[in-house]
């Protein structure tokens, strides 16, 4: 029995390199939990860059506004694209990295054990070939407790 096989397809090295480069992109969702979602962090072989726009929103809240611990708050992405939300000072109802990151929007915050500032920001891939843009943080502060008047 004799088996005949077609000769292997041979691409020039330069064409092979171009095909590989065309498919390498910087996506924030590839960021492992041991690495920061921050300007300069390498994500898919490219350093992340700063984007001065705020691209996260807390439902019913303004950036710089206040929250009450235990309050139900949703955080969502402003705009589209491939993104990764990260929060500090609270946990996400569902997410990765100890419930501080999510690729879902909107997503609920768990604020029951929060006592300080809560911030949300995101990394977004503007295109498959460009670097990840790390957007500015949107921050909430704990509401001041009401002052009682002594008579």
Backbone angles phi, psi at 118, to 5 degrees: -115, 125
Residues 144-148 have a mean pLDDT of: 60
pLDDT-derived band of residue 126, with 50, 70 and 90 as boundaries?
A: confident
For the stretch 40-69, pLDDT in tens is 998 878 899 999 999 999 999 999 999 999
For the stretch 67-107, pLDDT in tens is 999 999 999 999 888 899 999 999 999 999 999 999 999 99
Rg (CA), the chain: 22
pLDDT top residue among 23 and 48: 48
């Amino acid at each position: 029995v004799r088996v005949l096989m077609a000769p292997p397809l041979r691409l020039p090295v330069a064409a092979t390199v171009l095909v590989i480069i065309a498919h390498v992109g910087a996506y924030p969702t590839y960021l492992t939990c041991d690495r920061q979602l921050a300007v300069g962090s390498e994500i898919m072989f490219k350093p992340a860059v700063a984007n001065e726009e705020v691209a996260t929103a807390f439902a019913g809240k303004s950036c710089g506004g206040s929250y009450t611990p235990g309050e139900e708050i949703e955080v969502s992405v402003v705009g589209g694209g491939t993104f990764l939300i990260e929060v500090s000072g609270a946990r996400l109802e569902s997410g990765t990295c100890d419930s501080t990151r999510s690729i879902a929007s909107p997503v609920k915050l768990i604020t029951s054990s929060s006592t300080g500032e809560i911030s949300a920001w995101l990394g977004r891939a503007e295109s498959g070939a460009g670097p990840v843009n790390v957007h500015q943080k949107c921050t909430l502060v704990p509401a001041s407790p009401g002052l009682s008047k002594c008579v």
